[in-house]
Copies of this chain bind each other. A is one copy, B any other.
C-alpha cells in the first residue's frame, strides 16, 4: 500500500461519516471498515479518535484559512484605505469556500456540514483545537465585519453575527434527510454555490436591518413599523 495511502483513506472515510452522522455517533470501526483499513490503524497514525477529528478539520481548514487570508488581502488592497463593504466581505468568504480545491463533488457540503457540527456538537476538545489554530483568520473576519457595519452597536453586531453564523452553519449542516421536512416536492437539486448566492443577500439584509426594537410594538400586539 502506497506510503500512507492509509492515512488518507481514513481521513476520507472519517470526514464523510462524521458529516453524515456526527462525531459521537461515528465509531472507529465504522470508519476503518469504510476505509478498508485495520482498526488499529487509526490509533497508530493519529493517536486517538479526538486527534483524528482534529486531523479531519485541519486537512481542509488549514488551506482554507490560507485562501481566506489572501482573499482578504486582495480585498483590502483593492479598497485601499476604505473598509470593504459588508457584501464584499461576505462574498470574499463564500468565494474562498467555493473556490477551494475539492477532493470530490461533495467536497463543499461536507466541509460546511462539518463546520456546522463543530459549532453545534459541544466537543470541548474540538473547540479548543479550532480556537487555538485558527483564531487569526476568524478575528480578521470579525474586524472586517465590524468595519463594514459601523452603524451597529457592539451588542447588536454581536448578536447579528451569531444569527449569520447560525443561518450559515445550520443550513449547511442540515442533512438531506432533514430537508425533506421542508422540501415540499420542489425537488430542485441545488448546488452549494446557489445556496450561497441565496444566503449572502439574506445575511446582508438581516445584518443591515433597521434598528432592533427591544419592546415589541405596543399598540397592536404584533405590528412593527
A129 to chain B, nearest CB (A): 12
A25 within 8 A of B: yes
A1 within 8 A of B: no
Interface pick from A2-10, A61-69, A162-170 = A162-170
Interface pick from A38-46, A47-55, A100-108, A171-179 = A171-179
A222 touches B122 (CB 8 A): no
Report the Cα distance A172→B176, complex, angstroms.
22
Q: Given A87-B217, A122-B177, A131-B181, check contact A224 B201 (CB 8 Å).
A: yes
B95 touches A222 (CB 8 A): yes
Interface residues of A (CB under 8 A from B): 20-22, 24-25, 74-75, 78-79, 84-85, 87-88, 91-92, 95, 116, 119-122, 124, 127, 131, 138, 142, 154-156, 158-171, 173-175, 177-179, 181-184, 186, 188, 190, 194-195, 197-217, 220-224
Q: A163-B167, A170-B170 are in contact. List 5 more A-B contacts (CB 8 A).
A: A88-B222, A91-B222, A122-B177, A159-B190, A163-B198
